Amino acid sequence: MKLIRQNIRLIATVLCVLLISLVVYGAYSISTQGSRWFSSGANKYLRRTKANVTAGNIVDRANVLLATTDNTGKRVYSSDEAVRRAMVHVVGDSANNIAYGAESFMADHLYAFNESYLERLAQGLQGKIRRGYDIRLSVDSRLSKKAYSLFPKDKSGAIVVMNYRTGELLALQSYPSFDPMNLTQLDKDNPLKPFWNRATKWISAPGSAFKVITLAGALQHIPDAINKTFHCSGELVLENTTITDANNAVHNDLNLKKALALSCNIAFSQAILEMGDKNLQQTASNFGFGDYFLFSDLVVENSVYPTTDRTEKEIAWTGPGQSRLQVTPLHMCMVAAAIANDGIMMEPKLLLGVTNNAGVSRFDFFAREHRIALDKPTADTIADYMREVVRTGTGTRAGVSGIPVCGKTGSAQIDGQRETNAWFVGFIDDPKYPFAVCVVVEDAGGGGSVAAPIAGELFKFMTGR
């Protein structure tokens, strides 16, 4: 009998633990993935409620109207077609072609799902159709329109602009785009996939833009790395591969600062071989590679540092940003932003405010640290080296007179492409203009000749130059 009671107590304890674990996991899942579940097309409650509630307005950071509902109940967007096209991947569209635009991902606010019974009763007594809350986004429609005008019309890619102190996203653009109020069959059939948000979902090797992370690893793991000299003879032969530089350049002896400015593949391959793959993997991890991104305002594909088949060849190619590295444009903007922000990587944010029908705020913006990528002295050194890239190196076309621009170009080689993917990541090293940028133009050529000029024009626009 005593043994039976002990077994009953044991079973009861196990059941209690399982129940508590289920509650805790449920609470965690709702807090981290609630928006993803709520905005899912499988949510029947969401579909039913949408039919009985007028969605709130969407405005940009300057309160410029981006989306509203007209008198017929139709969802309409900005009167400026260029703004509609520039903002569609952030705002979304009424047909939900954009999977995680604000129209769907922030539907809990737009359709006032958190509205109290008293608020619902008040609208009912007034004989009004229930109306959702208005939301204010961090993006700048003027800046986004400018970026849209700069991007090559026949190419795919992305532009991201972030406030590196707060994480606010000022521009989040994917190309090609489309007009949400004039969707055509050509848009639907376009092989470049205009409905796909490349800024957050497209992952690829970033090429030499990754060298800022390799540089961080070298400064942390190679003794006296600042004063160390590398030798570039024009080629580095390893196993069955030969690493060369653009135009078969020979840089001779150079330190890391000059190697970054000239984007020397050989020096950065030598750097990773000296520090070791595991050390660079750890540095990349500090910058968020391997993280499971669960951001409150947007869905971002996870970035990958390769961990299998790590031959000497693959390791050497990782230093210059090739091998099987995979990262989104948004994440590379976060990398540049972390360097600018004394090594602190901020969580990217899109939602600035939510206002109910009485004009009462229902949401307060707050900046949140995502992780510490590196210490401030190392961040300052990398920023200085990136400044040299723009002053004298491959990123000169991103420069703005009188403005301290820091950056890094990249030209990533992807199998099957006629041209390389052109990358530029960088920032303005000035507290008055805390802006970080990532520009990617796919299958377009060199980062210095294609992506850097776009970034330079954006820096000019943001600083009024």
pLDDT digit string, tens, across residues 55-80: 999 999 999 999 999 988 899 999 99
pLDDT of residue 360: 87
pLDDT of residue 128: 63
At residue 408, the 3 state secondary structure works out as: strand
Residue 57 lies in a domain: no
User: Higher pLDDT residue, 115 or 166?
Assistant: 166
Which of 83, 45, 53 lies closest to 67 in space, CA to CA?
83
pLDDT at 20: 58
Helices (H), 102-167: 102-105, 107-110, 117-125, 141-150
The answer to the question of residue 437 being in a domain is: yes
What is the pLDDT at residue 26?
A: 43
- Average pLDDT, integer, range 410-421: 86
| pLDDT interval class at 31 (50, 70, 90) | very low
Q: What is residue 7's predicted lDDT score, i.e. its pLDDT?
A: 60
- Residue 451 DSSP class: I
Whether 144 maps to a domain, the answer reads no
pLDDT for the residue numbered 57: 97
How confident is residue 82, by pLDDT bands cut at 50, 70 and 90?
very high
Domain that holds residue 317: 207-350+366-463
More confident residue, 340 or 8: 340
CA angle centred on 350, ends 290 and 123, rounded to 5°: 130
Give Cα separations from 113 to 45, 109, 129, 149, 266 (angstroms): 10, 7, 14, 37, 56
| Over residues 442-459, mean pLDDT | 97
pLDDT of the residue at 120? 57
pLDDT at residue 390 above 90? yes
Tokens of 142: 């003027």
Is 370 part of any domain? Answer: yes
Residue found under tokens 């590295």? 325
Q: How confident is the model at residue 32 (pLDDT cuts 50, 70, 90)?
A: very low
Structure pTM? 0.88
Q: What total of structural domains would you count in the chain? A: 1
Q: Give per-residue pLDDT as tens, 318-372.
A: 999 999 999 999 999 999 999 999 999 999 999 999 998 888 888 889 999 999 9
What pLDDT was estimated at residue 30? 43
- Higher per-residue confidence, 383 vs 44: 383
| Whole-number pLDDT of residue 220 | 97
Condensed to tens digits (0 to 9), the pLDDT of residues 85-103 reads 999 999 999 999 998 999 9
Q: Give the C-alpha separation, 409 to 260, whole Å.
A: 10
Edge-first strand listing for the sheet containing 351-355: 75-77, 65-69, 58-59, 134-137, 351-355, 361-364
pLDDT at 157: 98
Residue 177 within any structural domain of the chain: no
Residue 12, pLDDT above cutoff 70: no
Cα angle value 399/401/404 (rounded, 5°): 65
**Under 8 Å between Cβ of 172 and 202:** no
Give the CATH number of the domain where residue 315 resides.
3.40.710.10
Three-state DSSP state, 10 = helix
Phi–psi pair at 167, nearest 5 degrees? 85, 0
CB atoms within 10 A of CB 145: 18
| Per-residue confidence band for 50, with pLDDT thresholds at 50, 70 and 90 | low
- With a cut of 70, say whether residue 441 has pLDDT above it: yes
Mean pLDDT, range 105-119, rounded to an integer: 79
Burial label for 380, CB within 10 Å (0-12, 13-18, 19+), is: middle
Res 130: pLDDT = 80
Note the pLDDT tens digit of each residue in 285-321.
999 999 999 999 999 999 999 999 999 999 999 999 9
With a cut of 50, say whether residue 34 has pLDDT above it: no
Torsion angle (degrees, nearest 10) of CA 24, 100, 302, 378: -100
From 35-49, 115-129, 269-283, 400-414, the region with the lowest mean pLDDT:
35-49
In whole angstroms, give the CA distance from residue 458 to residue 438.
11
359: left (phi > 0), else alpha (psi -120 to 50), else beta?
left
C-alpha–C-alpha distance, residues 298 and 295, integer Å = 6
